[in-house]
Amino acid sequence: MTSGTAIDVRGLTKRFGDFIAVDTVSFNIPRGEVFGLLGPNGAGKSTTIRMLCGILLPSAGSGTVAGHDILDEPEAVRSRIGYMSQRFSLYLDLTIGENLEFYGGIYSLNRAQLQERKRWALEMAGLQAREQQLTEDLPAGLRQRLALGCALLHQPEVVFLDEPTAGADPMSRRQFWDVIYRLRAEGATTLVSTHYMDEAERCDRLGFIFAGQLVAIDRPDDLKRAQRAGVIVEVACDRPAAAVETLERTDGIRQARLHGAGIHVSPAVADGAVNAVLAILERHGFSVERAETVEPSLDDIFVSFIQESEERPEAATP
Amino acid sequence: MPSPDEIVIEARHLRKVFGATVAVDALDLAIGRGETYGLVGPDGAGKTTTLRLLCGALPATAGSAMILGFNVASQIDEVQQRIGYVSQQFSLYPELTVDENLSFRARAYGISETDFKHRREQLLAFTRLGRFRRRQARALSGGMKQKLSLAAALLHEPEVVLLDEPTTGVDPVSRGEFWQMLLSLAEQGTTFLVTTTYMDEAERCRRVGLLYEGRLLVEDTPHEVRRLAGITMLEVRCAPLVTGRKIAGSVQGVQWAELFGDRLHLAVEEADIATSLERTLQNAEIQVSSIRQIQPGLEDAFFEFVRRSREALP
């Protein structure tokens, strides 16, 4: 790679007929970063990833991945990246070893390379001595790690993971992230999309994508510090769902939602926020155990981005 | 904890064996009316099997399951009239519209036309699916499909609802809306047993149970579960990170160390280990910029319970 940049895109756009799936997205990801892409279903995360992988041709814009142009050199891009999607393509009727060999063939590894990388993948996925086992007999978490192993056989410089852990249990997801960090230590770059906020917290930087547009890009801590979500009051009270409904109907409340065992409320005015929330809840007969201002969580930030993008009329398509 | 006379879901020594595999092993559950109970655990721990045993879709090998005082094995009709079940797979008809799916399900439950119309309007308003009522189910987003599944499961006004990973692959905002609906019904007395892989959802439950290899390792309020895990978490910012982790993980009193973005998370026995930890890291030429105590998450707690359980194995 010629520079410290792994992914660089300018004005990336994808239209499907009248629908703009990805709208002039620009960003830059340095080598070795773990970059998380967040956004609602249908916001354009997968489409963005597919364009960067050279699977889908952009309608406009340009970009380089691993030093190669995604428009002019898609083959060179594809040979340097690993891609794993939510519906990863393992052959369930093949053994674990056969799946790895199949992908080794696709990436044109020679015999010696294949043996070495196969060993690496089996160890990484925790599947040593299970080579002969049928893939369909593996639990979901192990299948996901095998799929990751297949996507990494050719030691790609840049790895794209599109909701790789959907439906995996917390322990499997933790092990999956161990592998991502191992790749980072080896200098590889990872772009991962996820709906798990705990995974978002594990990324070096995050991009929020809404209705095809990249609306923010920053480190998780800096996103929280930017106070985009306004002041957040955390409340522990009885009947939290009813409390949310009451607060949503009250003027001067920007946002109220369940959070953990309690609720997070964002009043429009920051001054006296705690007392304002307390007054509303007590007036409606809720007994409040605790109310205090807290740092916004990543899902508070996520929700406030969604609200903002819904308030913009041009983004109102469902 | 609910008092015994309020218990609406009860399992006693419930056991299910598939061939040589014990999927559910001597499971005891007692869930009170209006409770939202979250069942979590690794893949293959027995969560789905438990739900199927409780709704009578699967016969138990041993033990008993009672729903609202009716025996699931011998009074299945009484049970099915009173429970709703949402399975992991979308079980409605993709080529039918929202309205048609609801009407089809209502007929299956034998709900009268007048009752159905009233109930349908209520549910469409509740799930905010009203403006999509003439849309085919296949054209709904993941979050809307889940709401439709829930609406269909609520048509006959069940007192108990079992949900198997209802929100997998759904974005955080839609998941939030889904849980707002569940808790709002729970506060009016509906009882929910939910399996989930999202820890933020488990945190919203009144009680959570951690299932591991068919057995319940721990069950309590999320707050208590975190306390019972008995771990203190430290966040360490240091460089280089990977070597730092290796060294920190081998320090006496550190149960485990993991990378978390640009920092380490350590589970330790006592917070006062921080000073000696810092010294050990510095002696190994690791630059330590900060060490602070952080709140363990529910996931950290479960990880610790599973770790202990594995260690206890012969």
Q: Pick the residue from chain B with its C-alpha nearest to A42.
A: B141
Taking the CA of residue B79 and the nearest CA in chain A, the distance in Å comes to 27
| Phi, psi of B222, rounded to the nearest 5 degrees | -50, -40
> What confidence score (pLDDT) does residue B104 get?
93
| Phi, psi of A119, rounded to the nearest 5 degrees | -60, -45
What string of DSSP letters covers B49-98?
HHHHHHHTSS--SEEEEEETTEETTT-HHHHHHHEEEE-SS--S-TTSBH
CB contact A241 to B (< 8 Å): yes
Q: Quick one: which of B296, B285, B294, B276 has its CA closest to B236? A: B294
Model pTM score: 0.88
pLDDT (average), residues A157-171: 90
> What confidence score (pLDDT) does residue B33 get?
95
Question: Has residue A63 got a pLDDT over 90?
Answer: yes
User: Whole-number mean pLDDT of chain B?
Assistant: 92
CA–CA separation, A257 vs B30, rounded Å?
29
User: Whole-number mean pLDDT of chain A?
Assistant: 91
Question: Has residue A122 got a pLDDT over 60?
Answer: yes
Binary contact (A202, B169; C-beta < 8 A): no
Which of B165, B183, B223 has its CB closest to that of A241?
Answer: B183
Chain B residue numbers touching A203 (CB-CB < 8 A): 261
DSSP class of residue A314?
A: G
> What confidence score (pLDDT) does residue A3 get?
54
> What confidence score (pLDDT) does residue A225 get?
85
Binary contact (A170, B197; C-beta < 8 A): yes
Residues A230-239: pLDDT tens digits?
A: 899 999 999 9
Most confident by average pLDDT, A19-33, A115-129, A171-185, B248-262: A19-33
Q: Which residue has the higher pLDDT, B174 or A35?
A: A35
CB contact B179 to A (< 8 Å): yes
Binary contact (B197, A195; C-beta < 8 A): no
Binary contact (A258, B43; C-beta < 8 A): no
Chain A residue numbers touching B44 (CB-CB < 8 A): 139
Taking the CA of residue A189 and the nearest CA in chain B, the distance in Å comes to 13
What string of DSSP letters covers A22-87?
EEEEEEEEETT-EEEEE--TTSSHHHHHHHHTTSS--SEEEEEETTEETTT-HHHHHHHEEEE-TT
Among B129, B147, B167, B173, most A C-beta atoms within 10 A, so best to mutate, is: B173
B residues 18-77 lying closer than 8 A (beta carbon) to A: 40-45
Residue type, A284: H
Binary contact (A174, B42; C-beta < 8 A): no
Chain A residue numbers touching B197 (CB-CB < 8 A): 167-170, 173
Which of B169, B197, B262 has its CB closest to that of A163?
Answer: B169
CA–CA separation, B48 vs B87, rounded Å?
9
Q: Is A316 left (phi over 0), alpha (psi -120 to 50) or beta?
A: alpha
Residue A2 pLDDT grade (very low, low, confident, very high; cuts 50, 70, 90):
very low
Question: Has residue A227 got a pLDDT over 80?
Answer: no
Residues B226-258: pLDDT tens digits?
A: 999 999 999 999 999 999 999 999 999 999 999
What string of DSSP letters covers B104-156?
HHHHHTT--HHHHHHHHHHHHHHHT-GGGTTSBGGGS-HHHHHHHHHHHHHTT
* Percent of chain A predicted with pLDDT > 90: 71
Taking the CA of residue A80 and the nearest CA in chain B, the distance in Å comes to 24
Most confident by average pLDDT, A218-227, B159-168, B303-312: B159-168
> What confidence score (pLDDT) does residue B156 get?
92
Residue B172 pLDDT grade (very low, low, confident, very high; cuts 50, 70, 90):
confident
Taking the CA of residue B114 and the nearest CA in chain A, the distance in Å comes to 29
Residues A262-274: pLDDT tens digits?
A: 999 999 998 999 9
Secondary structure element (H or E) that encloses residue B287, with its range: strand B287-294
Residue B281 pLDDT grade (very low, low, confident, very high; cuts 50, 70, 90):
very high
Binary contact (B184, A241; C-beta < 8 A): yes
Residues A194-208: pLDDT tens digits?
A: 999 999 999 999 999
CA–CA separation, B208 vs A118, rounded Å?
40
Question: Has residue B4 got a pLDDT over 70?
Answer: no
* Percent of chain A predicted with pLDDT > 70: 95
pLDDT (average), residues A267-291: 94
> What confidence score (pLDDT) does residue B312 get?
81
Binary contact (A220, B261; C-beta < 8 A): yes
> What confidence score (pLDDT) does residue A312 get?
62
Residue A171 pLDDT grade (very low, low, confident, very high; cuts 50, 70, 90):
confident
pLDDT (average), residues A58-78: 94
A residues 267-306 lying closer than 8 A (beta carbon) to B: 299, 302-303, 306
Residue B310 pLDDT grade (very low, low, confident, very high; cuts 50, 70, 90):
confident
Question: Has residue B52 got a pLDDT over 70?
Answer: yes
Which of B184, B222, B262 has its CB closest to that of A242?
Answer: B184
Binary contact (B168, A166; C-beta < 8 A): yes
pLDDT (average), residues A279-296: 95
Binary contact (A203, B261; C-beta < 8 A): yes
Q: Are B285 and B251 in contact (CB under 8 A)?
A: no
A residues 5-44 lying closer than 8 A (beta carbon) to B: 34, 39-42
Residue A1 pLDDT grade (very low, low, confident, very high; cuts 50, 70, 90):
very low
pLDDT (average), residues A154-174: 90
Question: Has residue A7 got a pLDDT over 50?
Answer: yes
Which of B43, B262, B306 has its CB closest to that of A140?
Answer: B43
A residues 70-129 lying closer than 8 A (beta carbon) to B: 86
CB contact B165 to A (< 8 Å): yes
pLDDT (average), residues A23-34: 97
Q: Which residue has the higher pLDDT, B142 or A191?
A: A191
Chain B residue numbers touching A166 (CB-CB < 8 A): 168-169
Question: Has residue A316 got a pLDDT over 50?
Answer: no
Among A4-8, A133-137, A175-179, A305-309, whose mean pLDDT is lowest? A305-309
Residue B5 pLDDT grade (very low, low, confident, very high; cuts 50, 70, 90):
low
CA–CA separation, B306 vs A231, rounded Å?
37
Within B126-262, strands assigned E span 160-164, 191-195, 207-212, 215-220, 232-239, 254-260
